[in-house]
Amino acid sequence: MAAIAFLAGFVQGLSGFGSALVAMPLLLQFLPARLATPFCILMGLVITSMLSLDLKQHLDWKKIGPIFLGCLPGIALGTYFLKTVDNSVIKKLLGLILISYSLFQLTVHVKPKKLSWVWGIIAGFLTGTIGAAFSAGGPPTIIYTSLNDWNKDEIKATLSGFFLLTGILIAIAHAAAGITTKEVLILFATGLLPVIIGTKLGSRAYSYLSHRSYLKLIYSLLLVMGLLLEFQ
């Protein structure tokens, strides 16, 4: 558990996202989903809190606001889909989109643009919908931030701030529903120091990345996410 927490912290400390991408497949080898999911959410709260604090000078709530507002109705729609729609089809489609988009961005240099806040609301809505339907909501927001003409610190700060807000909402919902049990808190205590160390080291490595290298890292992780959605 400690090693997984460290690795999750390092990946998100480096990229601004991806802790669940690393942790969940590994945690499910040892834990049932009812323990792994809230444990992963609590780790994510620690990571995003640390990153938001480190990048506080780059946090711009005008950037985060549209994504967060769009996310709220998306969560409601995603919950409906979870109950009524075969989400395996949606998951495969999302995987195919991510693979195609990532390969395109890795092979063709697209000049970033100043996107309208409307696109932020759309990205947030898709994030909420996909996240609530099958816990893979990050890509629309990641794509939106990477397409903007923001520097790497602004991208990472926006992702960290957004995921911090949504993580708080999910953690509150888990606590209210009795999902965050004593057993989960014991696991969290075990992983707390390793996830802090991993996040610190990941952030240190991030400081050596150029803007272009950082974008390549983002697209590479999105490609991995797409492959996991397509073939798991």
**Calculated CA dihedral for residues 119, 124, 129, 130, nearest 10 degrees:** 90
**Residue 149: strand, helix, or coil:** coil
Q: Amino acid identity of 194?
A: P
Q: What's the pLDDT at 53?
A: 94
Question: What percentage of the chain has pLDDT greater than the value 70?
Answer: 91
Question: What percentage of the chain has pLDDT greater than the value 90?
Answer: 42
Tokens of 39: 């444990």
- The more confident residue out of 101 and 78 is 101
Is pLDDT at 114 greater than 80 in this prediction? Answer: yes
Q: Amino acid identity of 196?
A: I
**Tens of pLDDT, residues 164-223:** 998 888 888 888 888 889 999 999 999 999 999 999 999 999 999 998 899 889 889 889
Task: Give the mean model confidence (pLDDT) for residues 119-124.
Answer: 93
- The more confident residue out of 156 and 33 is 156
Q: How far is CA 201 from CA 17, 40, 155, 173, in A?
A: 15, 19, 19, 31
Q: How far is CA 34 from CA 26, 63, 182, 218, in A?
A: 14, 33, 12, 29
Using pLDDT thresholds of 50, 70 and 90, give the confidence band for residue 127. confident
Please report where in the chains the tokens 């939106």 appear, as a residue: 144
pTM comes to 0.83
Q: What's the pLDDT at 31?
A: 86
Q: What's the pLDDT at 87?
A: 60
Tokens of 187: 């696991």
Q: What's the pLDDT at 5?
A: 95
Question: For 25, what's the count of Cα atoms within 13 Å in the CB-facing half-sphere?
Answer: 12
d(CA 25, CA 98): 19
By CB atoms closer than 10 A (0-12, 13-18, 19+), residue 138 is buried
* DSSP letters for 75-108: HHHHHHHHHHS-HHHHHHHHHHHHHHHHHHHHHS
